[in-house]
């Protein structure tokens, strides 16, 4: 979730018994910015799954950066929000199968995928 799963929230939930949590959605295209990486590093001080969104090659570069810091990487292929549409990620990702294959080949942590189905 964008800005809704920060480290303070995850710590609170861990006190309630949660054993595994996700980072907020991280935009792969921003990992070239040192300030963004520092913000992400501060947010990933606990063991979690990093959720990333983006296209190739940025998502692979972000995953390589994140892999040593997390227990798994989740690629967001389901976010329907305007930010995802504007950046062609989430539910608007082009060629998602190629992205998942590239991530699996690039890092040694498990890769999961977030998708959304149409409501009944």
Task: Enumerate the active-site residues.
Answer: 79
Cα–Cα distance list, 7 to 38, 43, 93 (Å): 14, 5, 27
Burial of 109 (0-12, 13-18, 19+ CB in 10 A): middle
Taking a C-beta distance cutoff of 8 angstroms, is the pair 88, 49 a contact? no
Alpha-carbon span 75 to 3, nearest angstrom: 16
Q: Which two tokens stand for residue 83?
A: 């930010």
């Amino acid at each position: 979730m964008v800005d809704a799963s920060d480290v303070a929230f995850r710590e609170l939930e861990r006190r309630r018994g949660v054993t595994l949590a996700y980072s907020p959605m991280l935009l792969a295209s921003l990992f070239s910015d040192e300030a963004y990486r520092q913000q992400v590093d501060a947010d990933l001080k606990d063991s979690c799954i990093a959720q990333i969104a983006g296209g190739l090659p940025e998502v692979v570069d972000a995953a390589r950066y994140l892999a040593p810091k997390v227990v798994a990487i989740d690629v967001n292929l389901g976010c329907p929000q305007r930010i995802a549409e504007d950046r062609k990620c989430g539910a608007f990702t082009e060629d998602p199968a190629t992205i998942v294959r590239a991530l699996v080949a690039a890092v040694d942590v498990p890769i999961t995928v977030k998708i959304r189905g149409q409501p009944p």
